[in-house]
A and B are shown apart, each in its own frame.
Chain A
């Protein structure tokens, strides 16, 4: 690395770094330059860069150009390129390295500020929600839910309950910006009688330090969360509908060798399990109009960590909820799915033109599917797919799973329907006088 002033980007020797990072016997020299990576990458062409060009330039020693290209903030680290590469060349390793090589003041400020907020607070919240604020918001929102009717009188989200089975995490977006989205999750956990708790510390799901290329900060956030789960003695850290939060925790624990005395699981798999066990008796009776639904496979959950079992669960739950005949897959899908363009911190990177250009391929996929709704078990996917829909004039809506589960069970409140269209404003409203056993 050459010496540099704080504001300039140092020059990395990418080939030397690649040789250092790759397992023995592997080499970026093995690249055949076939272009499958770029062919399947929605970021190809942005800033005149693509995965193949990145690798070729690294092998040719064009280190200054690679060290400074802003494309690294458009690559969403989704690893689709390496998954289609016959030589398993992982471009995202070099992109992460390049990100971390940018001085913090040159990195996208949205990512940097979010990461700093996470490091400052015991909540690990990127939106700066402090532990006591989280506890207050949960209590106030729960009171709102209880006011929806007597059947919700038991909704008392536990916090810091020692020995609960599930340690449930929460993306900061809900407590900070849309607390009415908390209710459906609590209703589901209450419906199945889950043994769960929030924690006042380490509860947040998101991890922007991962996206900043700052391994120490990524580790610090994961350590705080692992300590919170260990301290409560919970058996399972249950990741709610958020993709990268699962990957950052799951991968972080392995990568940094942390002592996690619990399992990691994701909420979708538990939805599937509860439906199979008859504990969530959802059906598609509410969808008599035959609204068509598709599902977004979050890269971080499906391709980068759990794999096909997560994709299977997503589809099982979706079909049960909307009716198999009303479900349509985007193409490609599952592990081969395209990133929506909102991953890797892109939504916080401030390059909205590039982000929407990336999202064009997702938009085309959705348009080709003919879906009226996109189910997104991930907050970044949700925001990005909504945004590109507005930008490109899409005629679809984007919705969380928990919304449809509660809709199907007849327990979705009026205020919990912000992502549903007018055609679903009425069906299945909870009867305020109903004291059903739920």
Chain B
């Protein structure tokens, strides 16, 4: 039996399988670049499905994220979103949501204002675009429609009662009820993923619709945890809505929810069909950046693999995904040992007030890049002309508190692919001008 590595040669290798990595692979294919993507089972499955651009700035909820981007440029010029032209951000968002819709996961068209979407905690959250299966929840909350929120015996992490307790004072027509999920009445723990798969079967949908209809009592809207199918959820949504005779919307569940699994499975199927060399569920063990090319080494279940690429886009995420590693004496980037912008010492990572709304210095740690998304050395020089970075690995943002995770991922992926394509241009030389 031979142990020779299998080799792939591409123009761009994307490392990372979260939102930034998948967006980068998508944008690269759209540009006609031969592309490989390698990534471990990423944090994509933890996403709510909401695509936030910029939801909070300096502790204030943002209504108009586009004008807030201008404010961000003034206040936090080092923020990744502050360094990309708003029209580029808008273009990237539109391309991304349109691509998702073409994969059968319809997303609302990003507008001029943030939407206010109900969350499982019974709060409303500012976001720019969300799955069409969740869209009616925004309208129902705004118009305070007579709405029944349903949860299910055995489903953990989603409480209709909690939603009503928190939203009810401002939304008098909101009611809740608990049902048994058809075919899962044995008293065990229920998982949204299993329920969503079951609702892809017409007979299960009909049984569920019957149970909900019996308790509607005049409600014009029905809110369900996000369980309306995984593959082609819009079809499940339409069919169940028709069977109910009421407007239907999903509310995200606690992770792992189906909204993220939908994206993950859709990308894993659709992008290889468009020519992507995808090595899923694996991590790159070694990355060498050479004068002629970059070489990625890794193993899949079958054996060793090598990917040779003209450029590499790092979208490896933060601590959860392993893009950054926190040690006793500092934060490091494990693949290339890139310089990490970080507080001077561990003592300075956190403020005394752990729940401080403005976050902690460590939240802004990450990889510092030039305007072409090329990682920089401490002296300001580019680490390597073939290397680009995107997503929340980047320094200078606090995606959790600023509600800007998808915005950073999608916009920087677009800009980094653009910069990589420029690098790969005629002659495959370093044609990018040096940053000023």
Contacts and interface: CB of A to CB of B under 8 A. Distances in A.
Q: Which residue, of B45, B194, B230, B268, has the highest number of chain A Cβ atoms within 10 A?
A: B194
A303 B282 CA distance: 12
B231 interface: yes
A263 B2 contact: yes
A45 B187 CA distance: 9
Given A305-B302, A361-B194, A85 B201 contact: no
Interface stretch (A12-20, A332-340, A423-431): A332-340
A360 interface: yes
Interface in A37-57: 38-40, 42, 44-45, 48, 50
26 contacts: A35-B191, A35-B256, A38-B189, A38-B191, A39-B191, A39-B193, A44-B189, A44-B194, A45-B188, A85-B41, A88-B40, A88-B41, A260-B1, A306-B301, A307-B300, A308-B278, A331-B197, A332-B265, A334-B268, A335-B281, A361-B197, A364-B198, A364-B201, A364-B204, A367-B203, A368-B197
B301 A305 contact: yes
Contacts of B42: 86
A83 interface: yes
Interface in A171-186: none
Contact of B41 (A84, A253, A305): A84
A39 B197 contact: no
A36 interface: yes
A365 B197 contact: yes
A53 B253 CA distance: 20
Interface in A281-340: 303-308, 329, 331-336
B202 to A, nearest CB: 8
Interface string B291-322: 00000000011100000000000000000110
A260 B265 CA distance: 37
B1 A86 contact: no
Contacts, number: 93
B408 interface: no
A143 interface: no
Interface string B254-283: 011000010001001100100000101100
Contacts of A364: 197-198, 200-201, 204
Contacts of A88: 40-41
Contacts of A333: 269
A331 B265 contact: yes
B183 A360 contact: yes
B267 to A, nearest CB: 11
Interface of A: 32, 34-36, 38-40, 42, 44-45, 48, 50, 83-86, 88, 253-254, 260, 262-264, 303-308, 329, 331-336, 360-361, 364-365, 367-368
B260 to A, nearest CB: 10
Q: Which residue, of A44, A254, A329, has the highest number of chain B Cβ atoms within 10 A?
A: A44
Q: Which residue, of B41, B45, B203, B272, has the highest number of chain A Cβ atoms within 10 A?
A: B41
B193 A34 contact: no
Contacts of A264: 1
B186 interface: yes
A83 B41 contact: yes
A335 B280 contact: yes
B192 interface: yes
Contacts of A335: 268, 280-281
Contacts of A253: 1
B194 A86 contact: no
Given A303-B301, A307-B300, A36 B189 contact: no
A331 B200 contact: yes
A332 B230 contact: yes
A430 B280 CA distance: 44
Contacts of B188: 44-45, 48
B236 to A, nearest CB: 10
A373 to B, nearest CB: 18
A79 B324 CA distance: 27
Q: Which residue, of A39, A253, A334, has the highest number of chain B Cβ atoms within 10 A?
A: A39
Given A85-B41, A332-B230, 20 more contacts: A38-B189, A38-B191, A39-B192, A40-B193, A42-B194, A44-B188, A44-B191, A83-B41, A86-B41, A86-B43, A262-B1, A263-B2, A305-B302, A307-B300, A308-B272, A331-B265, A335-B280, A364-B200, A364-B201, A367-B201
B40 A86 contact: yes
A415 B183 CA distance: 39
Contacts of A334: 268-269
Interface in B182-220: 183, 186, 188-189, 191-194, 197-198, 200-201, 203-204
B55 to A, nearest CB: 23
A17 B221 CA distance: 53
Contacts of B300: 307
Nearest to B184: A45
B349 interface: no
B303 to A, nearest CB: 9
B268 A336 contact: yes
A263 B302 contact: no
Contacts of A365: 197
A84 B41 CA distance: 5
Nearest to A36: B256
A307 B272 CA distance: 14
A227 to B, nearest CB: 15
Contacts of A263: 1-2
B1 A336 contact: no
Contacts of B189: 38, 44-45, 50
A50 B45 CA distance: 19
Nearest to B40: A86
A364 B191 CA distance: 15
A307 B200 contact: no
Q: Top 4 nearest A-B pairs by Cβ distance? A: A331-B231, A45-B188, A368-B200, A39-B191
Contacts of B281: 83-84, 335
Contacts of B261: 39
B46 interface: yes
Given A45-B189, A83-B41, A34 B278 contact: no
B45 A36 contact: yes
Interface string B341-366: 00000000000000000000000000
Contact of A84 (B45, B197, B201, B203): B45
A41 to B, nearest CB: 9
Contacts of B320: 32, 86
B434 to A, nearest CB: 37
A39 B230 contact: no
B201 A39 contact: no
A48 B42 CA distance: 28
A334 B255 CA distance: 24
Nearest to A303: B301
B187 to A, nearest CB: 9
Nearest to A311: B272
A31 B240 CA distance: 36
B282 to A, nearest CB: 9
B49 to A, nearest CB: 15
Nearest to B200: A368
A62 to B, nearest CB: 18
A34 B301 contact: no
A361 B302 CA distance: 27
Given A307-B300, A364-B200, A365-B197, A34 B256 contact: yes
A108 to B, nearest CB: 23
Contacts of B197: 331, 361, 364-365, 368
Contacts of B204: 364
A111 to B, nearest CB: 24
B194 A39 contact: yes
Contacts of A40: 193
A307 B42 CA distance: 18
Contacts of A303: 301
